[in-house]
Structure 1
Amino acid sequence: MPHERPVGHHRVKLTDIPKRREQRRRVRREIIARLTAESIELGLYDLFVDDSGEADDGR
């Protein structure tokens, strides 16, 4: 994101903020989708992990 940096602070154009927000949301959704797909592939998606760190399939 283009910006100026006077005295330690970034100055960003107000019009760039919604674009950057949407870009970050898109990247976050892609990462979540990828992690979910990997978890399903590994058979971990339906596992429940309790506070002790023990995995349980919920049955």
Structure 2
Amino acid sequence: MRKKQPARFPAAGATWCHWHKRYTTTGVLVAVIEQASGPGVAVYACAPCQKRFRLTPI
């Protein structure tokens, strides 16, 4: 079950880190999930999560 994201939008330049589930200003795109029907999903990770989980930007 997915958790709901906060109703408030972040300050400009912030992205949602899909690993620690919080907004971050160091987020980069690490994956794109394409779906057969409906829009795809862009997956972002912050700098600490990139290092911890060995994620590489695309």
TM-score (norm 2): 0.20
Higher strand share goes to which structure?
2
Higher helix share goes to which structure?
1
Between the two structures, name the one with larger relative contact order (CA 8 Å, sep ≥ 6).
2
TM-score (norm 1): 0.20
